[in-house]
Chain A
């Protein structure tokens, strides 16, 4: 048994009421009767610090072994010893011959020095005062002008001891203005340590774990229990009884899948008395798709995953395939070493698979900007910092960010070492400005196998047409009119928009009878070509039209023409052509204007051109484009043939204009180049576009010039249009299909390095524009080294990843094991799961942590096995009941003498509501969805031009998907997430807070998704819950809490129900309002007042403390 004694100065106790409280308290928590100081032990007398007179207030010692037997020593005057059972470290201290305990640097001394001294006497050279370093023995023992900060064994000769005990305000350490202060106990600890020879040791987290033997504890089958019980026994404690089976299945189902169990699950488990019932349950839960979804949530917090770029415009980015990969990785139980390699360096794996490349998106999840005015170098630098710091935090749980500006003050990480790590990430190929695009490169397109085959086929067919085009073009001798003398004369040209059908690639639509194209070969009336459009309208307005898929430029002084044939036997009363440029706003009408109601008469939206043309013959109608408001340069993206009644044949629609070939970019290549060089032209494909924009024509190589010219001849030159039209017609549907496939194909950001790495420097005080010393890729010296550098290349991210998981790194396995522990027990063995450094908290059970870490590696980094091991422990299955005694002794439950009880995460709360109400849509994966959100969350903060400015709430299934799939806009995260402590994913988060606020209560009571869920639960109560009120309440209670209500609870709920029913029976309107809230249809067969009352009871049950917590 480990006993801690605190000796207090009796005199002070008598005069200080504060200390008296302490004393009383300490007695009480120790559960010991108040001791007469005459009975107290003396075995530490010889070891007690010799401090001057009354200045000594407290000293202490650690004893191992039977505390009780040591109490029967001789009397010790003026000292009392208190038993403190709440001390939370695992002790393995060495008992000295005199009964005192040997202090260890990491446990006893480092926390004091780190907090009080290292800021000025630590690793950071620049801030180091008096050239004294206290974090390593060499510095502390050094001869500084004949004095020694620490003289091992001799406090009086140690300058540090003098300085921490002096009364002189000029000399005292820490200096008064530092806001730091050593108290008497800390001073005494330091004294005792110096007396014991001031042994230093490396911080525990930097010493590789060694697998400790599993303590032999009666009845502990699971090693986890053995370690925990070993400690508890020494504290005089034990595990609490097992929780009820109903509690257990809810706990484990939530912990493993993020969802509660169904009543059927509960019944089956309660009825299963086989010895391996629990084991089977855990395995079954781990095999559900929901397992991966739940595990992924925690990882996505670490990866700072979100669906927008995060800075400035905060536009959408396509990153969700990475999120889905994380889910998949957990479900497929990808070993953690590969999980690490793929995310840090999937792109560098030999012949990377698709999943490996998707996983590399981990390093692309950082927030990025495209804010005008930003300085590229600054952001390239910031992204690399983010990636470095995140990697160090996620895999090593060290606060590397400190070393960006100065040597880490507390941990052995110098600025130089930091930037050597940064050098691994500083050559990322993504641009400084994300372009506010959904697909900031480098990206990976995730084409399906079928699509891939089809694309190949399409490419082949397109290439065949291209070949034909090439041949046709080769036969044409192009002479640039701009270089001809004399220049060719101006002439009239026609650009035909409709001939033999609607443009290829468009989706023509009709109102009225189906679209009808008639053929000359069949004897139909056709004006030109082979096919015309024919419409026999019944009564009223009918039309054929398209918008989108093709566009036609309006030339200067262009004239629109169209031919029509009006049936003399059944003429229409009005005809109209309409044009679409960002909207249907340009119309010409003949005949009875008011018959066709589109557009405002007297504006260009509706221009009356005259009476109906003559019937019984083809008439060419013609009018200046400007007359209907079309301006030169505008692109017509759609047109419509409209009529009121009658039969009309339509043919050959287009625009004519007079061109001067020598000045027209559609006829002269020279002119086109002059007008377009140095500018962005979206007509050009990727590659050529940059070339045209980036360089003037005189800088193009011959090859580049050739490419652009051939593009022009194919796509711009008007003189080839007739020649190429049939081939373009052939190609258009192929290209459309190709682009449709590409459009629907998901893409995701992936990591890649520049072909030529950037040089890396220590950036002075973290300024992006102040490079200092040059650095190369390397790992901090405190860790095992990287293997020898390959001869032919530098180290890369894959080397770094391999180094993290090579089994020798002291942190990787511990950090991950601790995180899973935190997930299953509510708090890590190292509570500061994001900081294993000297400023973090030491582990409550160091041996257990090390055992688990080694076991994890020995299992092949098997994550499912690790989770299984933890939740099948006896410790996990305890009741969470908190006795007043336990609350006092171990308020944070570090010793695990009971199970922890804490509020569910944001996602779990929402998913639980959807689940118990039957609304949940369990579809796995896909682009983020927009469930209910109160109005005006995005818009009041969004940039005007952002594509995430307005929240477009989803419909149908999108409202009821698991919260994991909710679209996360970083600058305005979903309220249901942020009010319940979900991070906004701006930076990596290892541990969420667990606040408890009135805003949460408001949300759980009033949010439409909660109320709608309550109503759906109420409908299920009425439908499936039995015949009587009691049966129904019991059924709902079981669905939500996994247990039946006791009679008292049932009666409270029953009472509430009758009050609600009374009220809603007298106010049917209110009842209808309540049960109509939400998009899902209410069950009309149930009387509104009854359903409303049940809804309120469901709302009540869903707000129970027991339901909000994981119990």
Chain B
């Protein structure tokens, strides 16, 4: 698709209608006035197939790419990041009413006769120079604490997975809005001419876990044009849908066919003069280039042994979290704007101590390796890494509490997210919760604030990246003004 032309036409239309046709902008005129620039694919001046919107980035970006590690199902902040040593003495005591303060809880535990406090079974250590508290469940991540900011006071409005996942990724509980990655792809375009701007992984997860569902809406473009959809890179089957030629067709056969197609389409363009025909010719060429670049992307044979070992034993198993992590780095290197990894299985209503170990085994080493790997290659300063789930978990046990077993229900009022890389402070902990990890007491960060901060790091002013839909200039971060959490910026 020809973004520039589309944009110009869009601009022209808007101006005609909004200004009764009297405000032709320079850009629109330049395009429509017969300058040849815009009729081919992409922006001739930059050579990019998928250039940014004019005027973007709004200011110098701190990060060029985003890697978003979504741990889906709501990881327990109490067992991973929000250290509450004082809880031990409250074991099996009821959550004080003064803490809950009548706030709603889900119908899974609202019928429980009591809400007994379950302190974390896991030890926490102070890590790195900053002394950030991280659970023993994440020994590798403990070692990269000095690269990370830990925000302990993220909160959301949704109390159940489906709306919360939709919210964390699209800024709205109601389906139909574009995802974070789609917004960035729309606004900032792609640095790559032969890979999509926004790539998504849905890696495998420990079999023991009862995984919540994901939804394509978490990477869909919503009301934006579908070309801003995240492209799901798959663990099995073709990594990109239909990237492989059919059986019996090799690259040479495809080239033969495409050469003929291109000539025939050129003739068609001469006949009908439709600029979209030229765009289509170039999209077929881009498809052909993707056919050779994508398989190379997933080929790890050029990676050093040390690098592969850093990510752990699963790294070569296509579809694993570790393999997704190293591929994320390879994509960033090739100019992909946003990579999103959605790891499932964190919804531990019961048997939390046992199940969370499996989950952490799955993600800990590879997450730390990714941060370290980016750092070693000098990519971390241009890459923003975000880690977290869709909400937190309750301090009280769901189901029976024993010395060595408990479960936790959904808790939207505070949870932890970590950030690292482009523009983010290292070894910094932000926000405080009460002694029960139940309420924010200092420096709350709403998900909209977090998203605004992510956009900010990418050089985007969240107030100025909008798209008219349903009568509103829609934004990722909603109608109320969010706050960029400047404290976490380096």
User: In the complex, which residues of chain B have a beta carbon less than 8 angstroms from the beta carbon of A60?
Assistant: 20, 22
Chain A proximity mask over B266-302: 1 for CB below 8 Å, otherwise 0: 0111011111110111011011001100000000000
Contact of B47 with A by CB under 8 A: no
Contact of A272 with B by CB under 8 A: no
Chain B proximity mask over A974-1001: 1 for CB below 8 Å, otherwise 0: 0100111100101100000101111111
Taking CB atoms and an 8 Å cut-off, the chain B residues in 125-167 that contact chain A are 159-162
Whether A1074 contacts B246 by the Cβ 8 Å rule is yes
User: In the complex, which residues of chain B have a beta carbon less than 8 angstroms from the beta carbon of A936?
Assistant: 234-237
Chain B proximity mask over A1093-1111: 1 for CB below 8 Å, otherwise 0: 0001001100111101101
Whether B257 contacts A402 by the Cβ 8 Å rule is no
Taking CB atoms and an 8 Å cut-off, the chain B residues in 7-28 that contact chain A are 9, 12-13, 16-24, 26
Whether A884 contacts B211 by the Cβ 8 Å rule is no
Contact of A835 with B by CB under 8 A: yes
Contact of A367 with B by CB under 8 A: yes
Contact of A361 with B by CB under 8 A: no
Whether A28 contacts B34 by the Cβ 8 Å rule is yes
A-B contact pairs, 7 of them (CB 8 A): A179-B463, A183-B23, A189-B20, A882-B273, A1092-B248, A1100-B260, A1100-B264
User: In the complex, which residues of chain A have a beta carbon less than 8 angstroms from the beta carbon of B238?
Assistant: 934
Taking CB atoms and an 8 Å cut-off, the chain B residues in 155-196 that contact chain A are 159-162, 174-176, 196
User: In the complex, which residues of chain A have a beta carbon less than 8 angstroms from the beta carbon of B37?
Assistant: none
Whether B242 contacts A1005 by the Cβ 8 Å rule is yes
Contact of A1011 with B by CB under 8 A: yes
User: In the complex, which residues of chain A have a beta carbon less than 8 angstroms from the beta carbon of B174?
Assistant: 987
> Across the two chains, which residue of chain B brings its CB closest to A58?
B22
What size tier do the contact residues of chain B reach?
35 or more
CA distance A882 to B278 in the complex (A): 13
User: In the complex, which residues of chain B have a beta carbon less than 8 angstroms from the beta carbon of A1077?
Assistant: 246-248
> Across the two chains, which residue of chain A brings its CB closest to B223?
A993
Given A837-B471, A946-B213, the answer on whether A372 and B26 have CB atoms closer than 8 Å is no
> Which of these, B1, B26, B275, contacts A18 with CB under 8 Å?
B26
CA distance A189 to B32 in the complex (A): 25
Whether A1073 contacts B26 by the Cβ 8 Å rule is no
CA distance A314 to B275 in the complex (A): 41
Given A18-B26, A1105-B265, the answer on whether A996 and B276 have CB atoms closer than 8 Å is yes
> Across the two chains, which residue of chain A brings its CB closest to B232?
A940
CA distance A425 to B257 in the complex (A): 55
CA distance A21 to B276 in the complex (A): 25
Chain B proximity mask over A952-990: 1 for CB below 8 Å, otherwise 0: 000000000000000000011101001111001011000
Task: Determine which residue in A887, A940, A944 has the highest number of CB atoms from chain B within 10 A of its CB, and name it.
Answer: A940
Contact of A554 with B by CB under 8 A: no
Given A402-B471, A881-B272, A1056-B256, the answer on whether A84 and B21 have CB atoms closer than 8 Å is yes
Taking CB atoms and an 8 Å cut-off, the chain A residues in 103-119 that contact chain B are 107-108, 111-112, 115
CA distance A898 to B234 in the complex (A): 44
Contact of B376 with A by CB under 8 A: no
Whether B20 contacts A1001 by the Cβ 8 Å rule is no
Q: How far is the CB of A623 from chain B (nearest CB, A)?
A: 37
Whether B290 contacts A115 by the Cβ 8 Å rule is no
> Which of these, B23, B34, B235, B243, contacts A186 with CB under 8 Å?
B23
Contact of B104 with A by CB under 8 A: yes
Given A996-B283, A997-B227, A1104-B264, the answer on whether A22 and B246 have CB atoms closer than 8 Å is no
User: In the complex, which residues of chain A have a beta carbon less than 8 angstroms from the beta carbon of B254?
Assistant: 1005
User: In the complex, which residues of chain B have a beta carbon less than 8 angstroms from the beta carbon of A1092?
Assistant: 248
Taking CB atoms and an 8 Å cut-off, the chain B residues in 215-249 that contact chain A are 215-217, 220, 225-227, 229, 231-232, 234-238, 240-249
CA distance A1076 to B464 in the complex (A): 53
Whether B34 contacts A884 by the Cβ 8 Å rule is yes
Q: How far is the CB of A226 from chain B (nearest CB, A)?
A: 24
Contact of B99 with A by CB under 8 A: no
CA distance A1032 to B288 in the complex (A): 28
Whether A891 contacts B12 by the Cβ 8 Å rule is yes
Chain A proximity mask over B44-75: 1 for CB below 8 Å, otherwise 0: 00000000000000000000000000000000
Q: How far is the CB of B49 from chain A (nearest CB, A)?
A: 9
Given A888-B34, A1104-B261, the answer on whether A314 and B213 have CB atoms closer than 8 Å is yes
Q: How far is the CB of A471 from chain B (nearest CB, A)?
A: 46
Contact of A1071 with B by CB under 8 A: yes
CA distance A998 to B293 in the complex (A): 13
Q: How far is the CB of A1073 from chain B (nearest CB, A)?
A: 3
Whether A87 contacts B267 by the Cβ 8 Å rule is no
Whether B260 contacts A1055 by the Cβ 8 Å rule is yes
Q: How far is the CB of A709 from chain B (nearest CB, A)?
A: 30
4 nearest CB pairs, A to B: A1074-B248, A373-B106, A1073-B248, A399-B471
Whether B242 contacts A1006 by the Cβ 8 Å rule is yes
15 A-B pairs besides A21-B30, A371-B160, A1096-B256 with CB distance below 8 A are: A112-B19, A183-B19, A185-B19, A373-B160, A934-B242, A935-B237, A941-B215, A943-B213, A971-B216, A979-B226, A979-B241, A987-B176, A996-B227, A997-B226, A1105-B277
> Across the two chains, which residue of chain B brings its CB closest to A948?
B213
Chain B proximity mask over A370-405: 1 for CB below 8 Å, otherwise 0: 011111100000000000000000000001011000
What size tier do the contact residues of chain A reach?
35 or more
Whether A1096 contacts B253 by the Cβ 8 Å rule is yes
Whether B214 contacts A1048 by the Cβ 8 Å rule is no
User: In the complex, which residues of chain B have a beta carbon less than 8 angstroms from the beta carbon of A842?
Assistant: 17
Whether B160 contacts A374 by the Cβ 8 Å rule is yes
Contact of B486 with A by CB under 8 A: no
Whether A375 contacts B253 by the Cβ 8 Å rule is no
Given A373-B107, A971-B215, A973-B216, the answer on whether A1074 and B468 have CB atoms closer than 8 Å is no
User: In the complex, which residues of chain B have a beta carbon less than 8 angstroms from the beta carbon of A934?
Assistant: 237-238, 241-242
Contact of B400 with A by CB under 8 A: no
> Which of these, A25, A831, A887, A1056, contacts B29 with CB under 8 Å?
A25
Whether B263 contacts A1052 by the Cβ 8 Å rule is yes
Whether B272 contacts A986 by the Cβ 8 Å rule is no
> Across the two chains, which residue of chain B brings its CB closest to A116?
B18
User: In the complex, which residues of chain A have a beta carbon less than 8 angstroms from the beta carbon of B236?
Assistant: 935-936
Q: How far is the CB of B94 from chain A (nearest CB, A)?
A: 21
Whether B26 contacts A997 by the Cβ 8 Å rule is no
> Which of these, A314, A411, A891, A1070, contacts B32 with CB under 8 Å?
A891
User: In the complex, which residues of chain B have a beta carbon less than 8 angstroms from the beta carbon of A883?
Assistant: 273
Given A4-B21, A112-B19, the answer on whether A399 and B470 have CB atoms closer than 8 Å is yes
Contact of A822 with B by CB under 8 A: no
Given A373-B107, A996-B276, A1063-B253, the answer on whether A399 and B472 have CB atoms closer than 8 Å is yes
Contact of B113 with A by CB under 8 A: no
Given A88-B16, A997-B226, A1006-B246, the answer on whether A940 and B24 have CB atoms closer than 8 Å is no
Whether B29 contacts A312 by the Cβ 8 Å rule is no
CA distance A1075 to B463 in the complex (A): 54
CA distance A179 to B1 in the complex (A): 28
Q: How far is the CB of B387 from chain A (nearest CB, A)?
A: 20
Contact of A917 with B by CB under 8 A: no
Q: How far is the CB of B457 from chain A (nearest CB, A)?
A: 21
> Across the two chains, which residue of chain A brings its CB closest to B345?
A944
Taking CB atoms and an 8 Å cut-off, the chain A residues in 1-47 that contact chain B are 4, 6, 18-19, 21-22, 24-26, 28-29
Contact of B409 with A by CB under 8 A: yes
> Across the two chains, which residue of chain A brings its CB closest to B175?
A986
Contact of B307 with A by CB under 8 A: no
User: In the complex, which residues of chain A have a beta carbon less than 8 angstroms from the beta carbon of B232?
Assistant: 940
User: In the complex, which residues of chain B have a beta carbon less than 8 angstroms from the beta carbon of A374?
Assistant: 106-107, 160
CA distance A313 to B12 in the complex (A): 44
User: In the complex, which residues of chain A have a beta carbon less than 8 angstroms from the beta carbon of B98?
Assistant: none
Task: Determine which residue in A183, A831, A842 has the highest number of CB atoms from chain B within 10 A of its CB, and name it.
Answer: A183
CA distance A172 to B33 in the complex (A): 34
> Which of these, A28, A189, A975, A1002, contacts B287 with CB under 8 Å?
A1002
CA distance A533 to B13 in the complex (A): 83
Whether B217 contacts A971 by the Cβ 8 Å rule is yes
> Across the two chains, which residue of chain B brings its CB closest to A1057?
B260
Whether B108 contacts A107 by the Cβ 8 Å rule is no
User: In the complex, which residues of chain B have a beta carbon less than 8 angstroms from the beta carbon of A89?
Assistant: 20-21
